[in-house]
């Protein structure tokens, strides 16, 4: 019998054991489990890791393994996704072609939307400081843990087999647990990162030429994906508490849109977190309009503390919210693993589109992701990343206040990778960005973050892609010099 099937049998046995225990109860030690079930220590380790990835157990180094808390399920009514039949009207999908692709009779077409200007950073000259990147510096990435996870995944006998279309069950269970609420693994579709999922969602839900409501400002990658799908982004203004529900209702009424894209947690570029009192309001407005709300939650692991509000999808039972998240930002640009949480007919449509686009996400990456998030090293990395981002954010904000006091920091973010800075009246963001580059600092001009006319001149300044705090301080000094030249 293979080690994989043996560990699978042990997982089944341990699930039966967990059913007899209460949350917080301690499992037998690894030695006791090897003796009781007559398996090797490696088999026990793999089985515990699989249960930890599902959220069934919690491992505490030096203490043992414990039964995880089992959240109660709401039973007041059954979910009702029948409204989606109206919202999806006019965006028909050929299920015949899907079936043919599933059985290999039709080649699958792979396409990637043009991401010009979305998050790509042009190569910088020697000595330049990166404040325009969308990913943390390699020093902030869990390189050793990633390498170890990939090595363990590669040793699995089925590592190079075809993956299920929806993704590996243990990985879907991980994302379901992160989403919370009543989300199950069956509600999860694994994607090749967040950007790929965005492209798929826009093409699947809205008809070409139709409107899609977006925050203003908004993540440029979403704007690019929407336009590549033939959609027309319509701005909905934000304030210091996030998207404005009153203006959102007006936008739905005026445009007839059936799709809203937003980032409620650590919004890119402003870092805003949607206020608690608005979170349910936003979902209610979308539900009343018979529309989908795409919740881009790819910044969830980028909080500067571990206190992060739950996703909107956790409280949604009728399929209004389509949740999008990813491991790419907190881990590595090349760990292209994300997930879409959806319920009802829209999930069946997304699975169908997966056959047309790419069939499935590469299994070795999925296996490596399962290995990574099931370890204590991952939790340790997230704690260290949170502390590092908090420190870098404070360092850059303080340095900017000294070097360019005329630049206004719109808010001090509690998460994310960037500061959103408003420039003085009469100063042009693109000109300022070009001047900064001449001084050896790459920053992002704010104009491209607006789906229509910008409300002012802004810069997005990243604090995660630089080598460290000293480089951020030097970058602020150079920006001060650039600002004085332009004044």
In the chain, what are the domains?
3-67 (1.10.10.10), 95-116+142-374 (3.40.640.10), 129-140+378-486 (3.90.1150.10)
pLDDT value at position 123? 64
What contacts 74, CB < 8 A, 6 or more positions away? 182, 317
Average pLDDT over residues 323-347: 93
Which of 31-35, 122-126, 161-165, 282-286 has the least mean pLDDT?
122-126
Nearest one of 255, 256, 236 to 246, comparing CA atoms: 236
Average pLDDT over residues 15-27: 88
Confidence band for 222, pLDDT divided at 50, 70 and 90: very high
Q: Does the pLDDT at position 61 exceed 80?
A: no
Grouping H, G, I as helix, E, B as strand and the rest as coil, residue 377 is helix
Which of 305-314, 322-331, 347-356, 370-379 has the least mean pLDDT?
347-356
Average pLDDT over residues 32-36: 91
Which of 114-118, 153-157, 360-364, 381-385 is most confident?
381-385
Average pLDDT over residues 280-291: 95
Q: Does the pLDDT at position 24 exceed 90?
A: no
Average pLDDT over residues 355-384: 89
Run of H or E residues at 258 = none
Average pLDDT over residues 75-99: 61
Which of 49-58, 89-98, 200-209, 386-395 has the least mean pLDDT?
89-98
pLDDT tens track for 449-486: 999 888 899 999 999 999 999 999 999 999 999 998 86
pLDDT value at position 122? 55
Beta carbons of 168 and 367 less than 8 angstroms apart: yes
pLDDT value at position 378? 94
Q: Does the pLDDT at position 276 exceed 80?
A: yes
pTM tops 0.75: yes
Q: Does the pLDDT at position 394 exceed 70?
A: yes
91 phi and psi angles, rounded to 5 deg: -125, 60
Which tokens is 15 given? 């699930």
- Beta strands in 320-361, from DSSP E residues, in sequence order: 321-326, 338-341
pLDDT value at position 9? 86
Beta carbons of 282 and 293 less than 8 angstroms apart: yes
Q: In terms of pLDDT, which residue wins out, 453 or 106?
A: 453
Beta carbons of 486 and 154 less than 8 angstroms apart: no
Confidence band for 159, pLDDT divided at 50, 70 and 90: confident
Confidence band for 76, pLDDT divided at 50, 70 and 90: low
pLDDT value at position 121? 43
Q: Does the pLDDT at position 160 exceed 50?
A: yes
Q: Does the pLDDT at position 173 exceed 90?
A: yes
Average pLDDT over residues 416-434: 94
pLDDT value at position 133? 80
Q: Does the pLDDT at position 115 exceed 70?
A: no
pLDDT value at position 42? 86
pLDDT value at position 255? 94
Beta carbons of 248 and 428 less than 8 angstroms apart: no
Q: Does the pLDDT at position 71 exceed 70?
A: no
Q: Does the pLDDT at position 253 exceed 70?
A: yes
Taking each helix axis as running N to C, give the angle between helix 245-255 and helix 276-288, from 0 to 180 degrees, rounded to the nearest 10: 10
Nearest-angstrom CA–CA distance, 185 and 190 = 10
Which of 281-285, 314-318, 355-359, 478-482 has the least mean pLDDT?
355-359
What contacts 173, CB < 8 A, 6 or more positions away? 53, 54, 55, 185, 188
Which of 114-128, 158-172, 359-373 has the least mean pLDDT?
114-128
Nearest-angstrom CA–CA distance, 166 and 8 = 20
The whole-chain average pLDDT of the chain stands at: 86
Average pLDDT over residues 298-310: 91
């Amino acid at each position: 019998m293979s080690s994989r099937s043996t560990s699978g049998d042990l997982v089944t046995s341990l699930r039966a054991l967990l059913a007899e225990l209460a949350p917080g109860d301690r499992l037998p030690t690894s030695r006791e489990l090897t003796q009781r079930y007559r398996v090797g220590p490696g088999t026990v380790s793999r089985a515990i890791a699989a249960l930890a990835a599902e959220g069934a157990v919690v491992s505490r180094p030096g203490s043992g393994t414990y039964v995880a808390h089992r959240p109660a399920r709401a039973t007041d009514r059954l979910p009702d996704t029948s409204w989606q039949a109206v919202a999806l009207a006019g965006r028909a999908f050929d299920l015949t072609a899907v079936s043919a692709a599933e059985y290999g009779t039709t080649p699958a077409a792979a396409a990637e939307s043009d991401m010009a200007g979305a998050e790509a950073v042009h190569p910088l000259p020697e000595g330049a400081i990166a404040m325009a990147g969308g990913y943390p510096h390699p020093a902030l990435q869990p390189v050793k843990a990633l390498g170890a996870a990939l090595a363990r995944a590669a040793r699995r006998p089925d590592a190079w087999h075809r993956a299920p279309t929806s993704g590996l069950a243990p990985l879907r269970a991980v994302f379901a647990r992160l989403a919370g609420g009543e989300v199950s693994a069956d509600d999860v579709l694994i994607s090749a990162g967040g950007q790929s999922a965005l492209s798929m969602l826009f093409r699947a839900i809205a008809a070409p030429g139709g409107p899609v409501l977006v925050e203003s400002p908004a993540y440029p990658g979403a704007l690019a994906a929407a336009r590549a799908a033939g959609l027309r982004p319509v701005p909905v203004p934000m304030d210091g508490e996030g998207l404005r529900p009153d203006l959102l209702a007006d936008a739905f009424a005026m445009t007839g849109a059936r799709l809203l894209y937003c980032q409620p947690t650590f919004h890119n570029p402003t870092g805003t977190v949607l206020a608690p009192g608005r979170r349910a309001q936003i979902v209610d407005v979308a539900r009343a309009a018979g529309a989908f709300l795409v919740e881009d939650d790819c910044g969830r692991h980028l909080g500067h503390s571990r206190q992060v509000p739950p996703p909107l999808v956790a409280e949604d039972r009728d399929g209004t919210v389509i949740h999008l998240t990813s491991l790419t930002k907190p881990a590595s640009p090349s760990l292209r693993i994300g997930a879409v949480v959806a319920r009802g007919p829209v999930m069946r449509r997304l699975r169908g589109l997966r056959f047309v686009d790419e069939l499935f996400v590469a299994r070795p990456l999925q296996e490596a992701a399962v290995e990574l998030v099931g370890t204590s090293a991952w939790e340790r990395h997230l704690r260290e990343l949170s502390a590092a981002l908090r420190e870098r954010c404070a360092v850059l904000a303080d340095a900017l206040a000294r070097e360019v006091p005329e630049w206004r920091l719109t808010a001090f973010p509690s998460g994310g990778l960037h500061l959103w800075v408003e420039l003085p009246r009469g100063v042009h963001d693109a000109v300022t960005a070009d001047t900064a580059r001449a001084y050896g600092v790459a920053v992002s001009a704010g104009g491209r973050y607006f789906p229509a006319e910008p409300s002012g001149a802004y810069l997005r300044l990243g604090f995660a892609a630089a080598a460290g705090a000293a480089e951020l301080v030097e970058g602020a000094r150079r920006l001060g010099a650039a600002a004085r030249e332009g004044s």
